[in-house]
Structure 1
């Protein structure tokens, strides 16, 4: 599959298929991990990052034993992120067939062979653009952070050279890693620098692709529930003037209603299937997220100089917060896709999921949408189907993993925990 390097998915005038998993497809294709086509470079990138993680964590523990808090945190921030990314790479290799099934299933449900109605296409475009633009932001922030790490040692050397302080020049590396001394000097220094810099970009594109895949799945589930609600209203529309839906009309009505119930069950089961496959990586990331954000904020608040370090830690903090927001917002979208479905006002549809910042006063449960339909026109056996639909909807749906459920509320809690880490770390600093 071709890699879209023109970023066409950021524009609103492209074919709908262009937006489907656009950001994860871009990132994971670059690394060779896209489920539809596993490339040999996937294994090379795995080995490269494994070496980077091992040497970076070793350097972090060495600084910790020496009592150098600043270097320890400076090393562990990218080190922990890379370690979690390595776990994601292993997960993508192990769960490739499962993710391919999820990808294929969602494509079939979103792009049926008979085409979509104009209203549904508008919903898809709005949701797809949200997914592409929001998931592209953490990748961009991470790419900027990794580039700053790579430029920092070169900029330091350049500034010393321009100021005539060539005797103070020390050729450093982008990240603190334990490397043999002979690799840190000529003629191997350029190759070692490129290798270490590349590990940063592997981390960025892998966590960007894996996390974007999660968010895209959540957005698509929300879209499918929007479709389901629209179809409920379309189901009853032809019979609004009839006292009873019976005879041939009843047979047609029953067939469509059964299809809606089956589709509802398919969406619920697909969500459960995906949640189980992503549970380990989601839980691991949330455990590390508060620590990484806390460490990066602590570094930002305690660095003694100003200059590139300020930009470095600000960029890292923004990237970490953006990455965490992807999971929390995605979990909220899935939950609200059932408990905060769009509300139909006359001929106008108001979608709660259009923006996370709009008022939630227009909430309407999916069960209420079916319950408010003119079900009294149905035959008794049809009413039983309606009851089954309502009962299934009342059970709700989440992206919960052990111990917690990703949501914007959890995002706030993690930010509070990160603040506690900062306060605790600062208490150990010597007072002036």
Structure 2
């Protein structure tokens, strides 16, 4: 059942496997035909998520002067819900651009067919699927654990002769008639589905980000190999003939065009994902800190709920930082590999073109986000700031 997590799984079927499954589940897949049933389903999910954000926020704000623990229990997941709403809107607004990027990068990666390049694709495509699936597991586990916690609490109440509490898994405000029979089971199911919509948005957006980064890394690795083999001098030959030199110039021009296109794709990707990435980096410390505070405040099943939730949030921010790091290192590797080639054994024209390519590669490609650059260094800074927030909050509480 989990064969798609193995390297033996067909490479072509790995391509955006988990993100597209998540987007299709809520009706927001850019490559999905926009039939009326799909549009109706996507609008329904948008409405459920929107009302869920409002209901959670209203409940948490109302409970702040009454019970700070209950307030945090509602406000912690609402931060993720609002961020999921932002990601849903970004995927819908940029659906045409995302469709073009998905198809264009697919075409470029399919052109890389050597044995070495296929190994790059197999490794990085599998890694993208595994990371996206890891986030999916933690997300589903978090959403399901909220419902399990509520059911276990009520079963414990019934065992002590108390009445069932007509509340929802996520703390939300609803009109009283909706939280009583016969409508209560329907509202309970809607709130539970609200949690899965949140998970689907996270898996879709975060999976798209890390997958795009790893697929661009494949293109950079392939370009590195092509440049190195093109400039390689065989049989200790010091000078190339005029015909060979012209052939090398033409091929090098095509490789430079490929490098320029990869840079252009990265810029277009930055424009599409800037709101998602910025929102995630801005709120990451707050979400991680609040979930860990809740984990310290609660006991029993509540600890498990927020342990899984914290793992899911940490996985999300890790995907962004890991994806940015892969692109940065691939650019630097391209520069070092090109400089280590036999570029100095060719004509002056080839040498100038090669040096310009080295200079361009040293300007690493990044997903441009205001105030942030997705990298593992940024992850350590976020975790340090999160620790400060936790210490400050616990001293106040």
Provide the secondary structure at the position in 2 that maps to 1:242: coil
- Could you tell me which runs of 5 or more consecutive residues in structure 2 were left unpaired when the two chains were aligned: none
- Residue of 153, 156, 160 corresponding to 1:159: 156
TM-score, length basis structure 2: 0.95
Post-superposition offset of 1:239: 4.6
Partner Cα distance (1:276, 1:50) in 2: 25
Q: Over residues 365-390 of structure 1, what are the superposed CA-to-partner deviations in whole Å (9 max), with x where a residue is unaligned?
A: x2232222212332222222212212
Partner Cα distance (2:134, 2:209) in 1: 15
Post-superposition offset of 1:123: 1.2
Partner Cα distance (1:243, 1:412) in 2: 48
Q: Which moved more, 1:374-383 or 1:41-50?
A: 374-383
Partner Cα distance (1:18, 1:54) in 2: 38
Q: Any conservation in 2 of the 1:153–1:171 contact (CA below 8 Å)?
A: no
Q: Any conservation in 1 of the 2:233–2:342 contact (CA below 8 Å)?
A: no
1:412 aligns with 2:386: no
Partner Cα distance (2:124, 2:139) in 1: 23
Q: Any conservation in 1 of the 2:296–2:303 contact (CA below 8 Å)?
A: no
Q: Any conservation in 2 of the 1:245–1:253 contact (CA below 8 Å)?
A: no
1:27 aligns with 2:26: no
- Equivalence map 1:88-103=2 (5 Å): 88-103=87-102
Partner Cα distance (1:315, 1:8) in 2: 24
Post-superposition offset of 1:166: 3.0
Q: Any conservation in 1 of the 2:76–2:290 contact (CA below 8 Å)?
A: yes
1:337 maps to 330
Partner Cα distance (1:102, 1:183) in 2: 44
- Residue of 348, 352, 358 corresponding to 1:384: 352
Structure with a larger share of its residues in helix: 2
- Equivalence map 1:10-21=2 (5 Å): 10-21=5-16
Post-superposition offset of 1:186: 0.3
1:319 maps to 312
- Equivalence map 1:17-416=2 (5 Å): 17-37=12-32, 38=34, 39-40=38-39, 41-64=41-64, 66-112=65-111, 116-161=113-158, 163=159, 165-237=160-232, 239=234, 241-303=236-298, 306-339=299-332, 341=333, 366-416=334-384
Provide the secondary structure at the position in 2 that maps to 1:166: coil
Partner Cα distance (1:90, 1:403) in 2: 22
TM-score, length basis structure 1: 0.87
Post-superposition offset of 1:236: 2.8
Q: Over residues 236-270 of structure 1, what are the superposed CA-to-partner deviations in whole Å (9 max), with x where a residue is unaligned?
A: 34755433223322232122111110011111111
Partner Cα distance (2:83, 2:336) in 1: 41
The 3 A distance-change label for structure 1 pair 328 and 382 is same
1:423 aligns with 2:383: no
Q: Over residues 90-142 of structure 1, what are the superposed CA-to-partner deviations in whole Å (9 max), with x where a residue is unaligned?
A: 11111011111111111011002xx6011111111011111111121111001
Partner Cα distance (1:74, 1:184) in 2: 19
- Could you tell me which runs of 5 or more consecutive residues in structure 1 were left unpaired when the two chains were aligned: 1-5, 342-365
Partner Cα distance (2:247, 2:376) in 1: 42
How large is the Cα RMSD of the aligned pairs?
1.5
